[in-house]
């Protein structure tokens, strides 16, 4: 029996470098794909793609999807999915705008007195986190399917945002000081990019350096094995949706501060873009496999494709076809890697 244990330990030790080499190889392939796409984009746009203004705009658009994709990665690594991110972000942004606006017709604060920018920041993150926690409670405690729960939550949050904006009106007159998060710079670096990098670093450290991160991989890889190892599966499944909600809240801050206007049309297709970026980045649809470095590359790949189609004036419905084909290809590749 002792000999079999020693053999098992030896096999596990050999398997770890093998998995690491495979992961490094996949990240290298993703990086090569990204570089090739950038070269192709530069050629087909006649160099317009690499102009400073376009690169800056591309990075700014990438930040919101990227931050939300980090939270989505936590959920998908635990073998879940979050389709509510788009509606949740719109609701947090619209409620924040409606509470901070100086327009008395649209302000929903008690007494019509606008709340401070600091209170608005905290409230927006709190709103998104609460709905994330509701998703987690429904999935973990009530044992409801993640797909159905989060799809229903998307409908609920979007409908609530429609009500908060006085039946879909544009909420303007948000304090200009709030624009620092989405429009400010530190040196030459835009503040949203700094926030995105910070979120990725914190998320990476959580997944790779904490017991919570290890538990996420364990639950996503094999729920029964995780349970036998003493992991609190319900708590893990709840917390990953809370993390997703926090990331949505941070994304809502950037989305609102970039325009200083709350609108139910603020983001379109965020849920699909975040899922696509995570899948392209190598996170398994069945959970337990992937990392945030790949997710960041996946976000950049998706952003380069979208930006190139915009610069070359590809028709909107053709863009939908191309994006759908990219997502389908990523799913096929993901399934092949899993097998």
Count of C-beta atoms within a 10 Å radius of residue 58:
19
Contact by Cβ (8 Å): 311, 40: no
Backbone angles phi, psi at 314, to 5 degrees: -70, 135
SS3 186: strand
Average pLDDT (33-52) is: 91
pLDDT in tens, 59-69: 988 999 999 99
**Residue 31: pLDDT over 80:** yes
Contact by Cβ (8 Å): 289, 221: yes
Confidence of residue 94 (pLDDT cuts 50, 70, 90): very high
Q: What's the mean per-residue pLDDT of the chain?
A: 88
In terms of phi and psi (left: phi > 0; alpha: psi -120 to 50; beta: otherwise), the region of 46 is: left
Confidence of residue 9 (pLDDT cuts 50, 70, 90): very low
What distance in Å separates the CA atoms of residue 272 and residue 193, rounded to the nearest whole number? Answer: 21
What distance in Å separates the CA atoms of residue 265 and residue 107, rounded to the nearest whole number? Answer: 19
Domains detected in the chain: 31-37+47-332 (1.10.3470)
Contact by Cβ (8 Å): 194, 272: no
What distance in Å separates the CA atoms of residue 337 and residue 334, rounded to the nearest whole number? Answer: 5
pLDDT in tens, 304-320: 999 999 899 888 888 88
pLDDT in tens, 211-270: 999 999 999 988 888 888 889 999 999 999 999 999 999 999 999 999 899 998 888 889
**Residue 3: pLDDT over 60:** no
Confidence of residue 1 (pLDDT cuts 50, 70, 90): very low
| Choice among 25-29, 124-128, 189-193 with the minimum mean pLDDT | 25-29
């Amino acid at each position: 029996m002792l000999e079999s244990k020693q053999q098992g330990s030896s096999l596990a030790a050999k398997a770890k470098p093998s998995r690491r080499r495979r992961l490094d190889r996949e990240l290298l392939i993703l990086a090569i794909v990204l570089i090739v796409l950038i070269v192709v984009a530069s050629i087909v746009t006649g160099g317009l793609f690499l102009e400073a203004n376009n690169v800056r705009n591309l990075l700014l658009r990438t930040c919101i999807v990227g931050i939300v994709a980090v939270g989505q990665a936590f959920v998908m690594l635990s073998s879940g999915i979050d389709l509510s991110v788009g509606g949740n972000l719109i609701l947090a942004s619209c409620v924040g705008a409606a509470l901070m606006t100086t327009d008395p017709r649209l302000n929903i604060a008690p007494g019509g007195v606008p709340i401070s920018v600091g209170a608005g920041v905290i409230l927006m993150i709190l709103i998104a986190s609460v709905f994330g926690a509701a998703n987690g409670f429904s999935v973990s405690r009530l044992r409801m399917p993640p797909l159905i729960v989060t799809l229903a939550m998307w409908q609920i949050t979007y409908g609530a945002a429609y009500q908060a904006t006085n039946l879909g009106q544009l909420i303007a007159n948000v304090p200009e000081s709030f624009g620092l998060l989405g429009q400010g710079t530190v040196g030459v670096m835009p503040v949203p990019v700094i926030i995105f990098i910070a979120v990725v670093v914190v998320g990476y450290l959580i997944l790779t350096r904490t017991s919570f991160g290890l538990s996420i991989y364990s639950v996503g890889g094999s729920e029964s094995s995780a349970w036998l190892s003493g992991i609190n599966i319900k708590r893990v499944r709840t917390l990953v949706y809370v993390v997703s909600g926090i990331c949505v809240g941070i994304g809502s801050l950037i989305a609102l501060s970039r325009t200083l206007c709350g609108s139910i049309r603020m983001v379109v297709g965020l849920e699909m873009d975040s899922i696509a970026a995570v899948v392209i980045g190598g996170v398994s649809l069945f959970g337990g496999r992937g990392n945030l470095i790949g997710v960041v590359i996946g976000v950049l790949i998706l952003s380069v494709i979208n930006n190139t189609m915009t610069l070359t004036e590809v028709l909107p419905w053709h863009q939908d076809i191309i994006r759908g084909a990219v997502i389908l290809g990523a799913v096929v590749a993901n399934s092949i890697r899993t097998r």
